[in-house]
Amino acid sequence: MALNVIELNDAGVRIGNEAQHLAESPGYALLQGDRLLLGMQARSEARLHPRHTHTQFWSRLSTDTLPQPGPRARTVADLAYAHLLDLWSLATSSPDGGTDEVVFAVPGQFDRNQLALLLGIARECPFKSVGLVDLAVAAVAADGSSPGAVLHVSGQLHRTVITRVTAGDELQRDRVDDTAATSLLGLQDTMVGLIADAFIRETRFDPLHEASSEQRLYDNLGGWLIQLQRDGEAMLELDTGRNSFRVNLHHDALVERLRPRYEQLTERLRLLSQGQTVIRLDARMAALPGLVRTLNGLLEEPSVELETDDAVRRGTLACLAEVRREGERLAFVTRLPNRRGHQTLKSADSSSPPRPAEPARPPSEAPTAATTRPTHLLLGHEAWPLRSAVLTIGGPAGEGTLALPGTSEPVCTIRVQELGIRLDPEVNAQILQDGVTVERAVHLAPGDEVLINERIRLTPIVVHPGA
């Protein structure tokens, strides 16, 4: 069976193997007496029970006693242990999730005591830990880098971690820095504040006045962001159960409210940039409204690259010979081979040319959400709107699925992002993009031709309002 990789980013702790992503769970825990909710369940009640909600048990991993301990968790480490067990349960409920070996990809801010505690927690879990690797180095190793330095930028709940990786024949971690200015929760609160102000101004309804409406606002935020990034503006509707309120919001207003935070991140990156430096954003940072455009506009020299959200898993699996330890004490690996254009272990013998991480466009070519991102997929003579964040291509017809003639199983997934759309192929799917075989995630632009199973053509297009 394949070995699993657990990516310890509290914004979404992930587990997957060479074939696929298996499960993801945000670092939330709600402990109320003998009641313990974890992951998405805890997040869905976080605003209802803020005093009982914990979101720092990974970033501040320790054996400290909780402020309000309960019979199911007395320490911070107890919550981390429960979260790992819950994630493992989600993964092993999948038909392909039965392996008992795990490599941990760990953020660079973990100190020695936290790494030792993590391994101690893992020893109590129903799997065997066989490796520890720096998360940022593994992500850069997925596609390698030209000689110089890479500033890997990773979004977490309470901080943005910036890891400087020197690229030569090897990729070596040099420095780890962080900033709270662009923590994902901080950015989320800023966006929620702007939206709440709009509701107060236009409807005199304050959604933050009651916990229930505040929770609904946070629950709706992800879907609203997709609409704003796709269309440039959106009508946001909040149903409180008693009434429904609507406000119109522009994407640019959101970016402008976030700009001071982005500028703080930019200044930190500028200070850390030395010589030939590339800035590589993880998928969560790249999806933030207007961040890529802002960085391109404020940074004169470092180029900005966007990595796919499977980069950590791919990089770890590509370097198992350096990461995996059998029957010996685990070492925290912060140096890996620089394998430019690695295309996953499964396709390492492919004759396809290597494809580096996708560079972001320079300021003069920076796309806007309303004009250059594909809005529809053209299948035959029908245009299918890209309304949701994720669209499954192939398989039984239903919500969130585009059924294809003669195809009973999913062949790929389309993910809507700020700068475009991304295609994630399923294992063994036969997909060409403009005549080139697709073996891993690729970004699609308007007019790209996608050929599925040698007979079905999909084309991303832009349909302008009123056209």
**Average pLDDT value over all residues in the chain:** 86
Average pLDDT over residues 33-46: 95
In which band, very low, low, confident or very high, does the pLDDT at 370 lie, cut at 50, 70 and 90?
very low
436 pLDDT higher than 90? no
At residue 407, the pLDDT reads 77
Please give the share of the chain, as a percent, with pLDDT higher than 90. 57
- The tokens describing 38, both together, are 């974890």
In a domain, 128, yes or no: yes
Q: What is the pLDDT of residue 355?
A: 37
Please say whether the dihedral angle defined by the alpha carbons of residues 343, 347, 352 and 353, taken in this order, is positive or negative: positive
Q: Show the domain range for 398.
A: 371-461
Instruction: Report the pLDDT value the prediction gives residue 96, as an integer from 0 to 100.
Output: 55
User: What pLDDT, on a 0 to 100 scale, did the predictor assign at position 347?
Assistant: 33
Q: Is residue 331 within 8 Å of 325, Cβ to Cβ?
A: yes
The verdict on 32 and 126 lying in the same domain is yes
Q: Tell which wins on pLDDT, 419 or 211.
A: 211
- In this structure, the answer to whether residues 316 and 424 fall within a common structural domain is no
Indicate if 331 and 380 belong to the same structural domain: no
Q: How far, in Å, CA of 193 to CA of 316, rounded? A: 38
Measured from the Cβ of residue 452, the count of other Cβ atoms closer than 10 Å reads: 21
Q: Where are the beta strands (DSSP E) in 266-329?
A: 277-281, 303-306
Pair of tokens at residue 10: 């509290």
Q: Which of 337, 353, 382 is the last residue of a domain?
A: 337
Q: What number of other Cβ atoms are within 10 A of residue 39's Cβ?
A: 21
Residue 394 lies in a domain: yes
Question: Considering its fold, how many domains does the chain have in total?
Answer: 2
Specify the CATH number for the domain of residue 379.
2.60.200.20
48 contacts 212 by C-beta, under 8 angstroms: yes
The enclosing domain of 116 has a CATH number of: 3.30.420.40
In a domain, 75, yes or no: yes
Average pLDDT over residues 49-61: 96
